[in-house]
Amino acid sequence: MLMMNVREIDLADLPSLPLEERAELPHIHAVYFVVSSSGEVLYVGQTSDLYRRWQAHHRFRQSLQAGATRLVWIAVDDPSELYESEEIAIEHFRPLWNGARIPDHIGPEQTNIRLDEQAKQDAREIARRYNLNGTSAAIRLALRELARQIKQEESG
């Protein structure tokens, strides 16, 4: 997908299934799009296994309640390109739900984290190295930094 110009993506030309038919999804690396009945991209994500990801996706119930009708995807041959491909698609489509709280799913302890450019690059590298999504990579980066600070305080 990285070689593809995101402005040239026509969701109607990509493989897709109704959300209710998620049991028919292929086992592939992919960037996926949750699309409403009006064609609006509500959410963009990436996964190393599209089938497994959508069998218990945290946005499934919300998608159905919001009238999302289809799951559209682009296969990504190189799993190291998943995270960056997802970011490019999010930047282009600006989906409503990316970065938004999941209703009745995350408690009041939820925290939004803003990363500077260096931290974003570090998180991308962690995501590529360990095949993680952006949130997991940012958490891993934050834990590494916290451990470094604690070790520094204990030795200083």
CATH (domain of 51): 3.40.1440.10
Residue 25 inside a domain? The answer is yes
Residue 106 inside a domain? The answer is no
Beta strands 30-36 and 16-18: pairing type?
A: unpaired
Residue 29 inside a domain? The answer is yes
Residue 100 inside a domain? The answer is no
Question: How many domains does the chain divide into?
Answer: 2
Reply yes or no on whether the pLDDT at 115 is more than 70: no
Of the two residues 23 and 67, the one the predictor is more confident about is: 23
Residue 57 inside a domain? The answer is yes
Q: What pLDDT was estimated at residue 25? A: 96
- Same domain, yes or no: 36 and 72: yes
Residue numbers of the domain that contains 145: 117-155
- Same domain, yes or no: 122 and 89: no
Q: What is the pLDDT of residues 64-111, one digit of tens each?
A: 877 778 999 999 999 988 988 898 899 888 888 887 655 554 444 445
Residue 107 inside a domain? The answer is no
- Same domain, yes or no: 14 and 64: yes
- For the chain, give the longest Cα–Cα distance: 59
DSSP 44-95: EEEES-HHHHHHS-TTHHHHHHTTEEEEEEEE-SSGGGHHHHHHHHHHHH--
